[in-house]
């Protein structure tokens, strides 16, 4: 028997009758009859489909977050509250201030991108009523406009921010059903406890484990894959934990990048800067840290910093939990030690101490919304002016995210000096035979990676990380 999907749409309770692997955009424009949200790329890149979503999971923020409807699946959003561009004006009885100012300011030409931009900016004003210009640029990083140019859009956002805040309805308090859809055809199972999740994983080894879907849902959005059975992690209470205790920051296996950002940024500001360049706010509000690591991608942006910061990954399975250093998690190109019946339950990062200096540099073709060509993360622990411990980790340089232990060994016990920098750089160059792909040639990567180490050393005086977009 098919179980419908319950959600709040623009303030009203709705029971959607679609397959749970339908994209939210397809459902909105079809069954729901709301065609304001547009399909530009169908892969989370352009923002034309942006809507606002408040998840109703345990521990999740009840704030509305901009989300790419083209790669969010209906079964993921069971019990969530959605606001589309149509809802923004209806809810306020008149146009939302951002709609008014976009119209007055000539912030739209062909208009294809406009609903997504309006939704992204309404989301910004909702979570930050007094944004500065940089906040507006950050909020727009996931929205492409090809004909207006961003200046009038940014001006409209700043003007709208000066007005009384527009109202968005309180997110609904729906309780998620244990499953939605039709067993045998397309079923999404929504466990709420870790024990239940692991039992399901063991019982259904072929089921897809779905967190934010910003990697895996592209198969549905783009390749039109059909998914018979999916297990969703976002309602599992234990996986939503984010807490500092026993000298570590613990981030649960379903915590999104946006949820983790404030605590990461307050402990490691440079890691925070990197995360603000991770996809866009739409991607970060769905995508999880665990999902990023589970893909075992050599260019995933989470691993280099986490390895340099000595993070441990906690894996839960039928036999209980085990913890290992993150660098030991990756076994090869897109492979890891994770077994079919296991999940990542948490990542633990030791909290920083005053003698530690950390930085991370992401080099990508575009500043925002682009995965790294090379990412280098470095941490020195200083004893006076000597390096007593050193961690050097790279993404984009090998088949896996890689900790360069031989280069670390050269640095330990030395002072930072031009001689040391050269010796470490030479070792880094000798260690890697980097990949050659459309993001960058092997020669380019081989030049950039050691230079990032030099930059780290030159910035030890506390110079801030600057733009590294090429
Ligand atoms: C437009 C766009 C921009 C992007 N930009 C970046 C970027 O700048 N940097 C970057 O690194 N990545 C980027 N990504 C990739 C993606 O957003 C990240 O890898 C994200 O963190 C994946 O998390 P998720 O929760 O969406 O994973 P999902 O797609 O839900 O899952 C990915 C994989 O992880 C597994 N998984 C999820 N949770 C667990 C768990 N708890 N235990 C075990 N396995 C699990 C799933 O089964 C699946 O195999 C981008 C993607 C898009 C579409
Ligand atoms: S259609 Fe381009 S991000 Fe969704
Ligand atoms: S107004 Fe045409 S793409 Fe933005």
**Ligand 2 pocket mutation pick from 28, 51, 70, 369 by most atoms within 8 angstroms of CB:** 70
DSSP per-residue letters across 72-108 = -BGGGGTT-EEE-HHHHHHHHTS--HHHHHHHHTT--
How many domains, the chain?
Answer: 4
More confident residue, 461 or 435: 435
| Same domain, residue pair 415 and 438 | yes
What is residue 462's predicted lDDT score, i.e. its pLDDT?
42
In a domain, 466, yes or no: no
Which residues span the domain enclosing 75? 5-85+171-232
What is the band of 410 on the pLDDT scale with cuts at 50, 70, 90? Answer: very high
Tokens of 348: 């633990």
What is the band of 138 on the pLDDT scale with cuts at 50, 70, 90? Answer: very high
The tens digit of pLDDT for each residue in 359-403 reads 999 999 888 878 899 999 999 999 999 999 999 999 999 999 999
Q: What is the mean pLDDT of residues 110-117?
A: 97
CATH number of the domain at 123, please. 1.10.150.120
| Same domain, residue pair 53 and 150 | no
| Same domain, residue pair 42 and 59 | yes
What is residue 226's predicted lDDT score, i.e. its pLDDT?
94
Residue 147 Cβ contacting ligand 3 at under 6 Å: yes
What is the band of 60 on the pLDDT scale with cuts at 50, 70, 90? Answer: low
**Ligand 2 pocket mutation pick from 37, 44, 146, 369 by most atoms within 8 angstroms of CB:** 44
Residue 286 CA to ligand 1 centre (angstroms): 9
Residue 370: other Cβ atoms inside 10 A? 18
In a domain, 470, yes or no: no
The tens digit of pLDDT for each residue in 323-339 reads 999 999 999 999 999 99
The tens digit of pLDDT for each residue in 185-201 reads 999 999 999 999 999 99
| Same domain, residue pair 226 and 190 | yes
Burial of residue 440 (CB within 10 Å: 0-12, 13-18, 19+) is buried
What is residue 170's predicted lDDT score, i.e. its pLDDT?
84
In a domain, 92, yes or no: no
Residue 287 vs residues 27, 36, 403, 404: alpha-carbon distances, Å: 21, 24, 24, 28
CATH number of the domain at 303, please. 3.30.465.10
Share of the chain above pLDDT 90, in %: 85
**Ligand 3 pocket mutation pick from 109, 116, 153, 156 by most atoms within 8 angstroms of CB:** 109
Task: Find, among 449, 445, 385, the residue nearest to 411 by Cα.
Answer: 385
Residue 457 Cβ contacting ligand 2 at under 6 Å: no
How does the average pLDDT of the chain come out, rounded? Answer: 93
The tens digit of pLDDT for each residue in 194-234 reads 999 999 999 999 999 999 999 999 999 888 899 999 999 99
Residue 302 Cβ contacting ligand 2 at under 6 Å: no
The structure's pTM equals 0.95
The tens digit of pLDDT for each residue in 149-168 reads 899 999 999 999 998 677 78
What is residue 369's predicted lDDT score, i.e. its pLDDT?
78
What is the band of 441 on the pLDDT scale with cuts at 50, 70, 90? Answer: very high
Task: Report whether pLDDT(69) > 70.
Answer: yes
| Same domain, residue pair 295 and 345 | yes
């Amino acid at each position: 028997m098919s179980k419908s999907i319950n959600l709040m749409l623009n303030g009203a309770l709705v029971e959607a009758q679609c397959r749970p692997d339908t994209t939210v955009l397809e459902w909105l424009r079809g069954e729901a009859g709301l065609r304001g949200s547009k399909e530009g790329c169908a892969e989370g890149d352009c923002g034309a489909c942006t809507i606002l979503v408040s998840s109703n999971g345990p521990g999740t923020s009840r704030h509305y977050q901009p989300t790419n409807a083209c790669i969010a699946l209906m079964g993921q959003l069971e019990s969530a509250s959605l606001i589309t561009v149509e809802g923004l004006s209806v809810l306020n009885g008149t146009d939302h201030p951002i709609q008014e100012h976009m119209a007055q300011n000539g912030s739209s030409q062909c208009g294809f991108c406009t609903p997504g931009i309006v939704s992204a900016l309404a989301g910004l004003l909702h979570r930050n009523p007094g944004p500065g210009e940089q906040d507006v640029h950050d909020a727009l990083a996931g929205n492409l406009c090809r004909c207006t140019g961003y200046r009038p859009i940014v001006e409209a956002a700043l003007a709208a921010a000066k007005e009384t805040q527009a109202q968005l309805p309180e997110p609904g308090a729906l309780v998620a059903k244990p499953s939605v859809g039709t067993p045998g055809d397309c079923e999404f199972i929504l466990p709420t406890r870790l024990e239940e999740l692991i039992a399901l994983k063991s019982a259904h080894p072929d089921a897809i484990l779905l967190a934010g879907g910003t990697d895996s849902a592209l198969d549905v959005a783009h390749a039109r894959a059909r998914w018979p059975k999916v297990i969703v992690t976002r309602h599992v209470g234990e996986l939503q934990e984010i807490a500092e205790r026993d000298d570590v920051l613990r981030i649960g296996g379903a915590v999104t990048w946006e949820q983790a950002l404030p605590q990461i940024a307050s402990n490691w500001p440079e890691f925070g800067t990197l995360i603000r360049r991770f996809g866009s706010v739409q991607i970060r509000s769905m995508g999880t840290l665990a999902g990023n690591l589970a893909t075992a991608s050599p260019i995933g942006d989470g691993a280099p910093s986490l390895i340099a910061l000595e993070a441990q990954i906690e894996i839960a399975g039928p036999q209980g939990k085990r913890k290992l250093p993150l660098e030991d998690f990756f076994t090869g190109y897109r492979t890891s030690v994770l077994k079919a019946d296991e999940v990542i339950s948490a990542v633990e990062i030791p909290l920083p101490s005053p003698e530690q200096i950390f930085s991370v540099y992401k080099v990508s073709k575009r500043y925002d919304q682009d995965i790294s060509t090379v990412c280098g993360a470095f941490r020195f622990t200083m004893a006076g002016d000597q390096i007593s411990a050193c961690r050097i980790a790279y993404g984009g340089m090998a088949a896996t995210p890689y900790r360069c232990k031989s280069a670390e060994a050269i640095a330990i016990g030395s002072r930072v000096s031009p001689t040391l920098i050269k010796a470490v750089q030479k070792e880094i160059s000798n260690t890697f035979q980097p990949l050659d792909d459309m993001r960058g040639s092997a020669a380019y990567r081989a030049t950039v990676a050691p230079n990032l180490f030099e930059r780290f050393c030159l910035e030890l005086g506390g110079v801030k990380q600057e733009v590294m977009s090429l």
